């Protein structure tokens, strides 16, 4: 409302509450940076006209948080990032410079072909010395095997990946050596680490609203049928949840 330049006013208009993207950027205050762990959902953003402005702001704020404390930046479904030119350039910059700021980048994607076809593929391959490969029964197919070879794997390593058990075995390639390992998560770890379906997210939101953050762990374990583990959690922290509360709420 205070800007006099009409061109600048028109450019900013879409990002105000009167425009289509005001819900993303327009507010009196913000709470970015108040938590040690933060997540940003970019589904529905990448590829839209709002993406450049929103991503530029996120990169700016993330950069200001890098003050030398150990920091981990996780980029899941990385092919979405590679599809956006601005995101790709920022990722390339991060991969080359963040070690100086005591920060690391974890880049995850479902397909190596997504990386190979990217303009920043050389930077990703060079800057990620530790690589974890999922089991892939099609790894021996000539075209796919060729991609693995370009990531530095030999024929024997590709055979190991092809014969590995999906969702259990992972092949690690690093400067310290290479080996197949079994993640071996138990039921309690899987209850938290493998909860990614929409029904899980809906239940998680409901339990947090009902029991609060402090009571969520025990409530979630009961929800997953792990009452014995919920009892251990309840005994280790303040007794903010009991099975009776869950039954009454239900």
- Kindly list the structural domains of the chain, giving each domain's residue range(s) and its CATH number in brackets, ordered by start: 1-30 (no CATH), 39-185 (3.40.50.300), 189-249 (no CATH)
Query: What is the pLDDT, as a whole number, of residue 80?
Result: 62
**Structural contact between residues 241 and 211, judged by C-beta atoms closer than 8 angstroms:** yes
- For every residue of 199-236, DSSP letters joined together read HHHHHHHHHHHHHHHHHHHHHHHHHTT-HHHHHHHHHH
Distance separating alpha carbons of residues 184 and 192, to the nearest angstrom: 14
Checking DSSP bridges between strand 177-182 and strand 169-174, what pairing results, if any?
A: antiparallel
The residues near 163 (Cβ < 8 Å, ≥ 6 apart) are none
**Structural contact between residues 14 and 21, judged by C-beta atoms closer than 8 angstroms:** yes
CA separation (Å) from 181 to 127, 158, 164, 173? 23, 15, 10, 11
Write out the chain's pLDDT in tens, 250 residues: 888 899 999 999 999 998 998 888 888 888 776 788 888 887 777 778 888 888 888 888 888 888 889 999 888 876 666 666 777 777 778 777 888 889 988 888 877 877 777 777 777 777 788 899 999 999 999 999 998 998 889 999 999 999 999 888 999 999 889 999 998 888 999 999 888 888 999 999 999 999 998 899 999 999 999 999 998 887 776 544 455 444 444 3
pTM exceeds 0.75, yes or no? no
Q: Considering only CA atoms, which of 21, 28, 77 is closest in space to residue 53?
A: 21
**Structural contact between residues 26 and 15, judged by C-beta atoms closer than 8 angstroms:** yes
State both tokens at 61.
Answer: 């704020």
Q: Considering only CA atoms, which of 41, 59, 125 is closest in space to residue 98?
A: 59
Query: What is the pLDDT, as a whole number, of residue 83?
Result: 64
Q: Tell me which residue has tokens 């993406």.
A: 51
Query: What is the pLDDT, as a whole number, of residue 29?
Result: 84
Query: What is the pLDDT, as a whole number, of residue 248?
Result: 40
Query: What is the pLDDT, as a whole number, of residue 78?
Result: 66
Backbone angles phi, psi at 159, to 5 degrees: -65, -40
């Amino acid at each position: 409302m205070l800007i006099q330049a009409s061109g600048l006013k028109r450019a900013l208009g879409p990002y105000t509450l009167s425009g289509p993207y005001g819900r993303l950027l327009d507010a009196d205050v913000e709470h970015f940076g108040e938590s040690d762990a933060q997540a940003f959902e970019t589904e529905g953003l990448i590829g839209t006209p709002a993406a450049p402005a929103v991503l530029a702001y996120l990169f700016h704020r993330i950069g200001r948080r890098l003050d030398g404390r150990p920091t981990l930046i996780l980029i899941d479904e990385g092919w979405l990032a590679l599809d956006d030119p601005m995101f790709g350039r920022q990722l390339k910059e991060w991969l080359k410079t963040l070690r100086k700021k005591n920060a690391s980048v974890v880049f995850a994607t479902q397909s190596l072909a997504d990386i190979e076809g990217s303009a920043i593929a050389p930077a990703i391959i060079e800057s990620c010395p530790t690589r974890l490969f999922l089991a892939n029964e099609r790894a021996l197919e000539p075209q796919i095997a060729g991609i693995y070879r370009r990531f530095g794997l030999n024929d024997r390593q590709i055979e190991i990946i092809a014969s590995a058990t999906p969702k259990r075995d992972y092949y690690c390639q690093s400067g310290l050596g290479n080996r197949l390992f079994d993640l071996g998560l138990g039921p309690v770890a899987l209850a938290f680490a493998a909860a990614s379906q929409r029904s899980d997210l809906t239940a998680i939101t409901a339990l947090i609203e009902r029991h609060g953050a402090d009571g969520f762990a025990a409530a979630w374990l009961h929800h997953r049928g792990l009452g014995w583990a919920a009892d251990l959690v309840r005994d280790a922290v303040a007794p903010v949840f009991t099975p009776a509360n869950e039954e009454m709420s239900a």
